[in-house]
Amino acid sequence: MGNGMTDGPRQGTGGDGARGATVEDVVLNANTAFYNAFEAGDLDLMAAVWLPEPDPVCIHPGNAAISGYAEMMRAWAMIFANTPYIQFFLTDVQVRVDEDVAYVTCTENVLSSGEGAPEDGFAGGKALATNVFRRTSTGWRLWIHHASPVLSSSGGRQEEAE
């Protein structure tokens, strides 16, 4: 049951060499695939990351929950159409696996252009994210993504979510 938990720093598995990879490594690779699809703005890659059933849920910072696979894919198409550039630098990454469910928590350090960014510039932001995965016959699939904005340490202000 509870095998594969490791202490100490993680090392990248490097390529497709899954030999010796723990279940935690496999879940972390699924987490990376989510952010890679997001950065690439690739709807096919994003569709392959998500669990179609039971209804997946996605909550972006300051937004209402999006439930259901079809509704979520429409939302991703809109995000990709309005985000010319986005890059994620993940920090504080933690993974926990319990049989067929796993979660990854991390800090998303985001650099983006497009809506909300200065003219001809980039906007930076930070969010805390929880990504919940379920094991399927085709591997670990993302079931729930929930990201919350980080309060700025200086002003203590947070934009109100509608």
Summarize pLDDT for 88-101 with one digit per residue, the tens.
999 999 999 999 99
**Distance, CA of 152 to CA of 155 (rounded, Å):** 6
Domain count across the chain: 1
Residue 11 lies in a domain: no
The helix (run of H) or strand (run of E) holding residue 30 is helix 23-40
In a domain, 81, yes or no: yes
Q: Which domain holds residue 117?
A: 23-149
pLDDT band for 150, please (50, 70, 90 cuts): confident
Q: What percentage of the chain exceeds 70 in pLDDT?
A: 76
pTM of the model: 0.79
Structural domain includes residue 54:
yes
Indicate whether 2 pLDDT > 90: no
Decide if 18 is inside a domain. no
Structure token digits, residue 24: 């935690």
Check: CB of residue 142 under 8 Å from CB of residue 34.
yes
Residues with Cβ within 8 Å of 150's Cβ and at least 6 positions away in sequence, in order, are: 107, 126, 127, 128
